[in-house]
């Protein structure tokens, strides 16, 4: 069986798209092959690494990637996970189906370490639940 290829896109490829990539590969890796990229890539968010590790998923070796690395690659699904990415990258050539699902930007969360981690967990779990619902 050929796996369907999925590209998750957000602005910085630092948290939401990285978590979505890892979750889809972890939960549905028998059916899907997930990747992620950013329009303006930055650095992987350390809080994303921590909350994913809580689920037994190690993303510490992941790197923020530019969508430019994927031009010309055929994907079954292109998924934007933030409104800004949808606005700046409304059509990604090479995608058979486009999906948009916006999640709050966890890099904007303020507070002490435990408060920030708590908010990251909420976003992680929202992404996980959404992936389980959409990618059967």
Q: So which residues are the catalytic ones?
A: 10, 82, 89
DSSP states of 32-100 as a string? Answer: EEEEEEESS-----HHHHHHHHTTT---TT----BGGGGTT--EEEEEE-SHHHHHH-S--TTEEEEEE
Kindly state the greatest CA–CA separation across the chain.
46
């Amino acid at each position: 069986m050929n796996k369907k290829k999925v590209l998750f896109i957000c602005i910085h490829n630092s948290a939401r798209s990285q978590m979505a990539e890892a979750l889809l590969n972890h939960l549905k890796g028998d059916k899907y092959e997930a990747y992620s990229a950013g329009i303006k890539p930055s650095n992987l968010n350390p809080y994303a690494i921590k909350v994913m590790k809580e689920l037994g998923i190690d993303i510490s070796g992941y790197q923020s990637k530019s969508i430019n690395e994927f031009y010309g690659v055929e994907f079954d699904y292109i998924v934007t996970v933030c409104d800004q990415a949808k606005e700046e990258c409304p059509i990604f050539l090479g995608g058979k189906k486009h999906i948009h699902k916006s999640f709050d930007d966890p890099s904007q969360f303020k507070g002490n370490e435990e408060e920030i981690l708590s908010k990251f967990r909420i976003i992680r779990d929202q992404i996980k639940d959404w992936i389980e619902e959409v990618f059967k």
